[in-house]
């Protein structure tokens, strides 16, 4: 797992390997007492473009899914900052296709033992 600071308020936590890399972007709110709260604001995936070769050059794609539009009012700006940071750290390079989305979680439930509150 690797962490990259995007700004004083945003950082990336990501995993590499297996042909696709993925991670989350967190927004940090710091308290006067020195504590902090992190909220996930986006998820991203780096993959090889799986399209027919005709008419396209081989490239990577970076898909950025913003899940908190209140803390990320400009998803395209966050996606661009993320691309540049990942490029700087060798996680992606040009040529690449960058795409951003606004996503909303609609629910979820555990299957098997997922949560441990003991």
CA 57 distance to own-chain centroid: 24
- In percent, how much of the chain has pLDDT > 70? 92
Per-residue pLDDT band for 53 (boundaries 50, 70, 90) equals: low
- Residue-level pLDDT at 49: 76
- Residue-level pLDDT at 1: 43
**Better pLDDT: 65 or 30:** 65
CA 14 distance to own-chain centroid: 8
Segment 78-91 mean pLDDT: 95
């Amino acid at each position: 797992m690797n962490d990259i600071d995007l700004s004083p308020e945003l950082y990336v936590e990501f995993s590499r390997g297996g042909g696709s890399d993925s991670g989350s972007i967190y927004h940090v709110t710091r308290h006067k007492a020195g504590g902090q709260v992190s909220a996930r604001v986006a998820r991203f995936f780096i993959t090889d473009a799986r399209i027919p070769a005709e008419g396209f050059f081989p490239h990577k794609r970076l898909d950025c899914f913003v899940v908190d539009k209140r803390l990320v009012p400009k998803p395209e700006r966050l996606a661009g900052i993320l691309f540049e940071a990942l490029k700087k750290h060798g996680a992606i390079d040009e040529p690449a296709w960058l795409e951003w989305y606004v996503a909303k979680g609609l629910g979820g439930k555990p299957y098997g033992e997922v949560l441990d509150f003991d």
